[in-house]
Chains A and B, each alone.
Chain A
Amino acid sequence: MIDMWKFTLRRILIMIPQIILLSILIFILAKMMPGDALTGMIDPNVSPERLEELREKLGWNDPWHIQYADWVGGLVQGDFGQSFRFKMPVTELIGERIVNSFWLSVATLIFTYLIAIPLGILSGRYNDSLLDQTITGYTYLGFATPLFIFALVMLWVFGFMLGWFPTSGSVSPGSEPGTFAYVMSKINHLILPAIAMALIATVNTVQYLRSEIIDTKQKDFILTARAKGASESRVYNRHILRNSLLPIAAFFGYEITFLIGGTIFVETIYNYPGMGLLFFESITLRDYSVVTAVVLLFGVAAILGALLSDIILSLVDPRIRIK
């Protein structure tokens, strides 16, 4: 167990330079983007002198390392700065959006595993049957289909043609927060994007589970179990499944990384105001403080996801606790 803690601690220590490097990269890249939040405002009714005055006042003309120091200074106090375009603190803005993304991610994960586990088990248990080939066929299709096209097709079919689901937003206009109708409306709005994302995200897990099961099936202890006269369902449910699911659990952390990439597309298509849409908007608006904050959070989430995976994996399989 001591080993375990040592490993975790070491893993966390490695994260620190990772995050520092990440923050520098993000900041420089954001500043390298052509234009700033005021460039888009080339408008005869807005005077360029005023824009220059604002740039000076907001410190956008300072050298990058001074701006970086200011930014990091705020970060350690939990202050991401002020969004220029939204005219509100970035922390507050992200707080507003992250809730939406969180629930969308949770729903996506639930759907992902709801689909992946039965399909993976069926496919692994009856491998090389027609059923298996169908499922594998689906996973290949899933690999090949770009999420942003698939999401658009889903929106068109289930949103517009059949009209089963709302087509944009995260809640019906005018719903009263806190009421039952509000919660139902929220859920109703996230089902379609979550399913669209899950149908694509799940194919990895299905494949993974399938090959794990096929692999385990041939292990000696399964032969032993069979030889002892255990029933087929007992062999599968107790012996094979247990052993095959462990690596899937470890894979969970990496799912987070996929979710981040996925939400950017899905939220844009469904006009679902979460972090992905915020990321996209802040780049088009050149709202630096928001861009850097969102990307930093994404980066940290990805690093934490990897950490989580490693920890789960090391719990499951002590061999990988590298010295």
Chain B
Amino acid sequence: MTKTSLTKWLFALMLAMVLVLAACSGETGSEDPGDDEDTEEPADNEEGTEEEEEEEPAEDDGLFSIDDFSMDKTNQGEAIDGGSITFGLVSDTVFEGTLNFNFYSGNPDYEVIAWFDEPLLYTDENYTYTNEGPASYEISDDGLTFTLTIKDGVNWHDGEPVTAEDWAFAYEVIGHPDYDGVRYTSDFANVVGMEEYHNGEADSISGIEIVDEKTLKITHHETGPSMVTGGIWSYALAKHIFEDIPVADMSSSDAVRKNPIGMGPYKVDSIVPGESVVYKKNEDYWRGEPKLDEVVLKVVAPETVVNELETGGVDLVNSFPVDQFPDNADLSNVEYLGMIDNAYTYIGFKLGHWDADAGEVVMDPDAKMADVNLRKAMWHAVDNDAVGNEFYNGLRWNATTLIIPFFPDYHDETIETPTFDPDEANRLLDEAGYADVDGDGIREDKDGEELTINFASMSGGDTAEPLAQYYIQSWKNVGLNVELVDGRLLEFNTFYDRVEADDPGIDIYQGAWGTGTDVNPDGLYGRTASFNYPRYASEENDRLLKEGNSEAALDVEYRQDVYKEWQQLMVDEIPVFPTLYRSVLMPVNNRVLNYTIAPGEYIRHEIAVSEEEPLVAE
């Protein structure tokens, strides 16, 4: 090979490598798995920069506290007549365009639907059904039968009244064997006659009775406190439009994708698939004519949301990456609203496996993490307040129990949970028999064998790697050798695939849960819950979870006591330990009036503006 051709080859090789490198960093730069997903899904370890920019005047240390944020927008100025606002749907992905509560699957679609349709039963700040919404309810004495009455004046956008038939029709479609969505849950199976109907053995649902045009009776097999937080499917489906469409074709029909219909304060005027939606006010809205003439929804990438807010490109957003807040805390044209998020991050310990045939969790007494003192020591070894301050500027903070402060009635602040105390961790480990036999600074297991704990953690965002390394270092400080599974962070889907399959290579993992709005933790920690990833079960746990959702628990005080006991049990047994509670921040342009993010407030028709054009940052 001559010299010139060698140089040529080298050059080509270098060029190729540059391209490969560029491609690689491109992937990591824009991938943020899970962000586009429903908020009620396992939140990933997204976001957060560790830049400690100490320029916020309000706080000397650059730290923030969620207590300083209000859920309600401060009104500035007087409302003008009409006006138009732009709502930013912050998402990596477009909305899929399944624009009906009965068929959608992703959260972006939910955000689009929520402007033009609404539930028949409103909920209050505790996420319990009220009689304030388009329909009211009454429960029979045995708690099993709900009588639902739709109010007069509640009409679909085309002027047809919303009827009991429309409501029953939603049940019939979701329960139908041909239904292709994900909304069929145990709440549906709980309706008398639903399972027979779902399996194709019956033509109608025996437990649903249409009393008159506006009244409907639904009878259930079982009842409990969850019945009034989510036991009823409260979204009607316009029968006069959908009855001629076969169930299997409904979700792809024009009535869902192109001309969606609802009964909410705004009507869909035009849709650019995946990009934007224009809504016009629904003058016939049952709670009165909306104040705004028009709402424009457009998809905004998380990378550019701050610029859009600064320039007035959007007035409101559906979510805001909290890690971008510290640098933009003093934008002059927006006000940040904030509340506690219904999610928490946690470390889970693998204690058994899932028995698919029996459909339940089986504990393994020989599991590596089976000793509760080991788990407790690991909790003592980490300083979550420091993590919250260093990585999230105080906008995430040390978590205590598994019922989060998002549920103020049930979260018990008085429970003492292990806090950062390496000495205590060392003491526990010494007592439990995890001694350093060979003197290398690393503890061996009880039999004197080498102990390596395999830690699975998710990739995504800038903080995932340093955070995982911080935990590993903290455990090393108390003599525990913890290593990342495969030596690296796992991609979102791989992570859940392997955790779900009880991969023997995973001993502990860092995950996150969105809790939804029902306090009942049975779906995540029950014996028969497949989301019970630590695979923990005990009779005490079974008992408490059952009592917490029994008829007796309709009495709030009783339920509080049960859940208090359960929170204590989880602190004693530690199948998982929560690490961080989270906050939600929501920037709103100053011209927007009457806005709030408080739960249980249905205010979209009240929103108004004080200026024709959005305010721009100075």
Contacts and interface: CB of A to CB of B under 8 A. Distances in A.
A281 B93 contact: yes
Interface in A33-58: 33-35, 38-48, 50-51, 54, 57
Contact of A273 (B15, B18, B94, B300): B94
B215 to A, nearest CB: 27
Contacts of B94: 271, 273, 277, 281
B29 A148 contact: yes
A264 B110 CA distance: 26
Interface in B492-511: 492-494, 496-497
A74 to B, nearest CB: 16
B96 A86 contact: yes
Contacts of B184: 47, 50
A87 B253 CA distance: 9
B459 interface: no
Given A45-B230, A169-B299, A281-B94, A40 B25 contact: no
A270 to B, nearest CB: 8
A102 interface: no
Contacts of B304: 155, 160, 167-168, 271
Contacts of A171: 272, 275
Interface in B293-326: 296-301, 303-304, 307-308, 310-311, 313
Nearest to A36: B493
Given A44-B516, A167-B308, A173-B272, A34 B38 contact: no
Interface string A274-300: 000100110011100000000000000
Nearest to A160: B307
B38 A174 contact: no
Interface residues of B, number: 73
A140 to B, nearest CB: 12
Contacts of B185: 45-47, 50
Contacts of A40: 34, 37, 41, 492-493
Interface string B337-375: 000000000000000000000000000000000000000
A51 B515 contact: no
Interface in B438-495: 491-494
A148 B26 contact: yes
B430 to A, nearest CB: 38
Given A50-B185, A169-B275, A173-B296, A43 B22 contact: no
Given A41-B41, A48-B530, A87-B103, A152 B96 contact: no
A27 interface: no
B523 interface: yes
Contact of A85 (B18, B105, B515): B105
B182 A41 contact: yes
A156 B311 CA distance: 12
A111 interface: no
Interface in A155-213: 155-156, 159-160, 163, 167-176
Nearest to A86: B96
A35 B496 contact: yes
A265 interface: yes
A35 to B, nearest CB: 3
A78 interface: no
A54 B180 contact: yes
Given A34-B494, A39-B497, A43-B514, A271 B301 contact: yes
A176 B230 CA distance: 40
A36 to B, nearest CB: 8
Nearest to B32: A284
Given A44-B524, A168-B300, A54 B182 contact: yes
Q: Which of A43, A47, A48: most chain B Cβ within 10 A?
A: A43
Interface in B180-200: 180, 182-186
Contacts of B106: 85, 285
B531 A48 contact: yes
Contacts of A45: 40, 185, 230, 516
B252 A87 contact: yes
A280 B26 CA distance: 12
B493 A286 contact: yes
A247 interface: no
A96 interface: yes
A43 B93 contact: no
Interface residues of A, number: 57
A249 interface: no
Contact of A173 (B180, B277, B307): B277
B41 A42 contact: yes
Nearest to A171: B272
B531 A44 contact: yes
Interface string B208-246: 000000000000000000000010000000000000000
A115 interface: no
A89 interface: yes
Contacts of A271: 94, 275, 299-301, 304
A148 B103 CA distance: 35
A28 interface: no
Interface string B420-432: 0000000000000
B191 to A, nearest CB: 14
B565 interface: no
A167 B297 CA distance: 14
Interface string B25-53: 11001110110111011100000000000
A273 B274 contact: yes
A143 B15 CA distance: 9
B493 A174 contact: no
B194 to A, nearest CB: 13
Nearest to A45: B516
Contacts of A169: 272, 275-276, 298-299
B270 interface: yes
19 contacts: A34-B491, A39-B493, A40-B34, A45-B230, A48-B531, A51-B182, A57-B180, A85-B105, A86-B97, A87-B251, A88-B97, A148-B26, A160-B311, A168-B299, A172-B276, A174-B278, A269-B303, A273-B273, A284-B33
Which 9 pairs between the two chains have the least Cβ-Cβ distance? A35-B493, A173-B276, A174-B278, A34-B494, A44-B523, A160-B307, A87-B251, A281-B93, A146-B22
Interface of B: 15, 18, 22, 25-26, 29-31, 33-34, 36-38, 40-42, 92-94, 96-98, 103, 105-106, 180, 182-186, 230, 251-252, 256-257, 269-270, 272-278, 296-301, 303-304, 307-308, 310-311, 313, 491-494, 496-497, 513-516, 518, 523-524, 530-531
Given A168-B298, A176-B270, 6 more contacts: A35-B492, A87-B97, A89-B252, A160-B311, A171-B272, A269-B303
